[in-house]
Amino acid sequence: MRKTMWFMMVLVGVLGLVAQAEIIRSTDYGVGADTYVANDIGSLSPDANFGTENRMRLRNNSNNRLRVAYLRFDLQDVLTDPTGAYLMFETTWMKSGGKIVDVYGLTDESLDTWIESGAGGITFNTAPGLDPADPGQLVLDESRTTFLGTFQTSSEAAPVILTTNPLDLDLAGFIASKTNGLITLLMVGQDDETEIATKEHDTYMAPTLVLPDSNDIVARAYDPVPAPYTTVSPSLDVLTWTNPDPNNPGETITCDVYFGATEPNALLPNYGLDLLAAGVTGNSVALPPLEQFKTYYWMVNIHDSSFPDRTVPGFVWVFDTFNAAPVVNAGDDQYVWLNKAVVSTTSDADTYLRDDTPRGDLGFMDIRGASSWAFRGYLRFDLSSLSAMGPGEIENVSLTLTKVGGASRNDAVTNDRFALYGLNDVEGNTPQNWSEAGLIPDNAGAEWTFPLDLESGRLTNLDDTVEGITEIIDGDGGVGTTITVSGEALVNFLKSRIDDNGLVTFVIANPATNDRGYGLGTKENDDPDSRPLLTLTYTPDSAPNDGNAVVTLSAEATDDGLPDPPGAMTYKWTQVSGPDVEIDPDDVLETQVELSEVGYYVFQFEADDGQLSAADTVQIYVGYDACDAAQNMPDYTPIASDLNSDCYVDLLDFAILASEWLDCSSLDCP
């Protein structure tokens, strides 16, 4: 496909500026386009699009065959003097020559952005400048088109290059009247078909517009917001656009912005618009308050310091306020909580057994294995609060331990050197309420044997040799390496303990027989990340909605009823952030969502009146429990005497106070 951009005959010796030059623009430049529409009887459908064809077909026999050509030329970067403008075409086929072609200009600039092909591609029934007509007939919309003149096809066989005569086809006045730099032409032929190459043709010339007199290539402001011919809310308070780069590197672009509600007059400077802002160095200006049901016009003139005495006038951009965006409220932020327990807790007691010295105050458990003796860890979690919730289901269980320094040996931790067991609550075993301040081998229960007795029922084997247990070592075996245990056997053991009194004791051993050992962090470790961590979710059988928090999203939306049609709003709820949630239905004012995880969720409600839309967001916090939800409210004020921060002042707080009763921190303490 041949590309025809522009041809310049006289150049000014500066970068980027072309002055006193003939300019040639084909439909292949910028947003140029070429195609035809048809309204035949029983042949070419008025709903068909032909934008991908390599020809335009011209025919009008006022009976049963009608094909009208559409052209668009992009002159948005031309500071134009259109005197003497003419067109050039190349024919691909003619049934007979010497036919007169009538040319019309599309005067409604809001219609210049018709689509050549693809989605929304132009058809006879959607073509700008045409009114509905019976098959085979043509009715021009005279309020949106103007007759420009004619040209005559050649009597020679195709291919022939046709050139229009400015005396017969006066394009200059129409081009000069345009304020958006886009030139749309309609071409209507006579009976017997003439076919003209489009820009899609591989070998023939694309339709071309020639501007022979004193035209400059310039860089204008572009990409206006709001876009031309759009309807905006009267609340719009800023205009933005994109500035071109300076002609010379290092120079600057400044802008003068003109604005008003009076229809532009091409005979007046700046189309009669008022100066809104001068010398703007950026790409936006604030707007004065807008009125509803008005049309506004604006333009941005460019000053490039590369050419101090030169002003590049902008195009006139148009928008209106014939509608106001809906007013929406997504509702107040909400603070709710789960009806299940999401547990992430460290141990409430931990030690290791070695000799007759209690070691519960250390920041590590020494886990060591040899052929005839061992150091073993004892680790307890208090899940009694779950027991108080009644029978339930456990999921998402994991126990994580971290290797630390300080132990008698610092060998690499491996799966073969780590084994986990659950302490069963049977007669003779260490009681579940053992004290880390006093537990030693001599007062440990019957489970303390060497080697460990796994057949007596005193211990539940939770090693990775058990089916369903997963034991993941993450790291190189050195300090910082983590051991994470999960699986069905661990779930079952925890459930058995929750169904009892909620105290859960694990025994940690090193199966090695060649004297190898390492340390695991305890709750006393200075690094919180190195302390034991048990995570799980516990859902009581009595909990509604599987323990999830059910929240009602309730929005309000009002509108002015415009545009009409549709005269009604559509709604949409979407999730902005947080754990994934299904919203169903999502197209109503009020809906419910089920939130299964602790954390913040943000939802957006949008109302659309068919032209303008507005949105608002609502934040939901889901807490572990009611206290956690309350503590995350922005206006939460803790009770000074709630010493354990559980939102209640009770005997537990008194116990904390009593434990420090008469303690003194003064410099004159007795």
Write the CATH number for 167: 2.60.120
Do 443 and 303 lie in a common domain?
no
Q: What is the Cα–Cα distance from 523 to 501, expressed in whole angstroms? A: 22
Q: Is the pLDDT of residue 587 over 60?
A: yes
pLDDT at position 627: 96
Residue 52 is predicted with a pLDDT of 98
Contacts of 222 by beta carbon, 8 Å cutoff, 6+ apart: 76, 241, 242, 244
User: Do 275 and 170 sit in the same domain of this protein?
Assistant: no
Kindly tell me the burial class for residue 601, based on how many C-beta atoms sit within 10 Å of its own C-beta (0-12, 13-18, 19 or more).
buried
- C-alpha distances in Å from residue 383, one per residue of 484, 534, 535, 585, 618: 19, 10, 11, 38, 35
Contact 350, 378 (CB under 8 A): yes
pLDDT band at 81 (very low <50, low <70, confident <90, very high): confident
The pLDDT value given to residue 265? 93
pLDDT of residue 14: 34
- pLDDT for 13 beyond 50: no
Same domain, 159 and 184: yes
Task: Please provide the average confidence, as pLDDT, over all residues in the chain.
Answer: 93
* CA 393 vs CA 347, 455, 544, 667: distances in Å: 21, 28, 13, 54
Is residue 462 situated within a structural domain?
A: yes
More confident of the two residues 533 and 4: 533
Is 631 in a helix, a strand, or coil?
helix
- For position 392, what pLDDT does the model report? 96
Residue 61 lies in a domain: yes
* Res. 155: pLDDT tops 90: no
* Tokens describing residue 259: 């604005």
Which pLDDT score is estimated for 214? 60
Q: How confident is the model at residue 169 (pLDDT cuts 50, 70, 90)?
A: very high
The predicted structure's pLDDT at residue 385: 92
> What is the number of other CB atoms lying within 10 angstroms of the CB of residue 361?
10
pLDDT value of residue 10? 33
| Share of residues in the chain with pLDDT > 70 (%) | 97
One domain, residues 466 and 587: no
Query: Do 510 and 368 touch, CB atoms closer than 8 A?
Result: yes
DSSP symbols for 290-303: PPTT-EEEEEEEEE
Q: Is 531 found in the same domain as 563?
A: no
Confidence grade of residue 333 (pLDDT, cut at 50, 70, 90)? very high
Name the domain boundary from 513, 540, 567: 540
Q: Is residue 407 part of a domain?
A: yes
In this prediction, residues 170-178 reach a mean pLDDT of 94
Domain that holds residue 352: 341-540
Q: What is the pLDDT of residue 3?
A: 35
Tens digits of residue pLDDT in 591-637:
999 999 999 999 999 999 999 999 999 999 999 999 999 999 999 99
Domain of residue 561, CATH code: 2.60.40.10
Q: Using H for helix, E for strand and C for coil, what is the string for 413-474? A: CCHHHCEEEEECCCCCCCCCCCCCCCCCHHHCCCCCCCCCCCCCCCEEECCCCCCCEEEEEE
Residue of 299, 298, 334 lying closest to 314 (CA atoms): 299
112 token code pair: 């210049």
Of 587, 573, 588, 584, whose CA–CA distance to 620 is shortest? 573
What's CA 311's distance to the chain center, in Å?
Answer: 40
> Same domain for 47 and 161?
yes
Q: What pLDDT sits at residue 79?
A: 83
Do 213 and 236 sit in the same domain of this protein? no
Q: Is residue 144 part of a domain?
A: yes
- For residues 250 and 292, membership in a common domain is answered with yes
The pLDDT of residue 21 = 64
pLDDT of residue 2: 37
In order, the DSSP letters of 588-615 are: SSEEEEEE-SSEEEEEEEEEE-SS-EEE
Question: Is residue 393's pLDDT more than 90?
Answer: yes
Residue 381: beta bridge partners? 504
Q: Does some domain include residue 657?
A: no
Q: Is the dihedral of CA 519, 522, 527, 532 positive or negative?
A: positive
pLDDT, tens only, 353-368: 999 999 999 999 999 9
Q: Are strands 349-353 and 469-474 parallel, antiparallel or unpaired?
A: unpaired
pLDDT at 213: 77
Give the residue among 494, 412, 419, 484 at the shortest CA–CA distance from 451.
Answer: 419
Query: Both 279 and 389 in a single domain?
Result: no
Tally of structural domains, the chain: 4
Residues 484 and 557 in one domain: no
Q: Which of 217, 252, 281 is the last residue of a domain?
A: 217
Same domain, 287 and 428: no
Q: Assign 161 a pLDDT band (cuts: 50, 70, 90).
A: very high
Based on the number of CB atoms within 10 Å of its own CB, is 372 exposed (0-12), middle (13-18) or buried (19 or more)? Answer: exposed
Q: pLDDT band at 15, cuts 50/70/90?
A: very low
Residue 7 located in a structural domain: no
Question: Is residue 530 located within the same domain as residue 552?
Answer: no
Domain boundary among 151, 184, 217: 217
Q: How far is the C-alpha of 569 from the C-alpha of 588, rounded, in Å?
A: 10
Whether residue 122 lies inside any domain: the answer is yes
Distance of CA 617 to the CA centre of its chain: 15
Give the pLDDT of residue 550: 97
Report if residue 645 sits inside a domain. Answer: no
With bands split at pLDDT 50, 70 and 90, how would you rate the model's confidence at 7?
very low
pLDDT of 183 reads 98
Q: What's the pLDDT tens digit per position in 98-134?
A: 899 999 999 999 999 999 999 999 999 999 999 999 9
Nearest to 529 by CA among 403, 350, 366, 653: 403
Query: What's the pLDDT tens digit per position in 215-234?
Result: 777 889 999 999 999 999 99
Mind listing the pLDDT tens digit for each residue in 499-515? 999 999 999 999 999 99
**Phi, psi values for residue 150, rounded to 5°:** -140, 165
CA-wise closest residue to 417 among 337, 554, 517: 517
